[in-house]
Amino acid sequence: MLKSFQNLVLLQNLYRLKALGFEYIDPFSVNPKTNYSTPSSLEQLSTHISTCQLCDLSKSRSQSMSGYGNPNAQLMIIDFSVSSNEDDTNSYFVGRSGESLKKMCQNVLNLQPSEVYFTHAVKCKPSNANTPSESEWNSCKSYLFSQINFIKPKVIITLGKDAYSKVTGESENFESVRGNVIDFKSYKLIPIYHPSYLLRNPKLKDITLSDLKTIKSCL
């Protein structure tokens, strides 16, 4: 874990020097005691995320979005990447998709947004509405898995196929796993359709209602 964070510090320094116009520098070492400390809490981890400069998304975002909700939540919801609405407002559960997700929590799971923990696999808005690259995901994934370890939710929901495949590392057909209870590390993980996909395909709402009832039974 410490080596991973040392690598993060090294990358941060390289990106900072690149932004200043440097093309070559002499080798330098990272001293974790003075340059970086492994987060010992979710709050400290959020601070690291808010100042992250590990990839080019740090240049186009309004801010990094570490997550929102109860740090002791039984339910953790993971979206793939930050939307334009979220980046513009620095808020969660915004826009039509966010409102739809909020209603799922309140009306079916009987949970307020503040009672769950909501975060993204990639913590910044993709540039030019692109899908985040593999390198951008690789810059963020240690943050996400550290969040999971700090929160220790009973159930994890992944929204859509991209969030599912990145979190689990699996690439099978999404329809074959959607709505299933999957053993993931020491947690129960249940993939569901993304709310934005449901807005475009309202006929799938009954299927998602059934998936949400499965989630509720696991909490």
Quickly state the pLDDT bin for 205 (edges 50, 70, 90). Answer: very high
Q: How far apart are CA 72 and CA 23, in angstroms?
A: 45
Separation of alpha carbons 94 and 160, rounded Å: 17
Calculate the alpha carbon distances from 187 to 77, 140, 153, 154 in Å: 13, 20, 7, 6
Closest CA to 174 of 188, 190, 186: 190
Annotated domain spans of the chain = 60-218
Token look-up 């059934």 returns 210
Which of residues 118 and 92 earns the better pLDDT score? 118
The pair phi, psi for residue 157, each rounded to 5°, is: -105, 130
DSSP state of 37: -
d(CA 28, CA 145): 28
Helix, strand, coil percentages (3-state) for the chain, rounded to 5, are: 55, 15, 35
Which stretches of 54-148 are assigned E, i.e. beta strand? Answer: 68-69, 75-81, 117-122
Give the architecture (CATH level 2) of 60-218.
3-Layer(aba) Sandwich (3.40)
Are 142 and 5 within 8 A, CB to CB?
yes
Pick from 39-48, 51-60, 112-121, 143-152: least confident = 51-60
pLDDT, position 36: 52
Q: Which residues have C-beta within 8 Å of that of residue 130, sequence separation ≥ 6? A: none
CA 118/CA 125 separation, integer angstroms: 15
Residue 28: Cβ within 10 Å count: 10
More confident residue, 137 or 10: 137
Query: How far is the C-alpha of 120 from the C-alpha of 97, rounded, in Å?
Result: 14
Predicted local distance difference test score (pLDDT) of residue 131: 78
Mean pLDDT of the residues in the chain:
85
Give the SS3 label for residue 210: helix
pTM for the whole structure = 0.81
Residue 141, classed as helix, strand or coil, is helix
Location of structure tokens 């997700």: 101
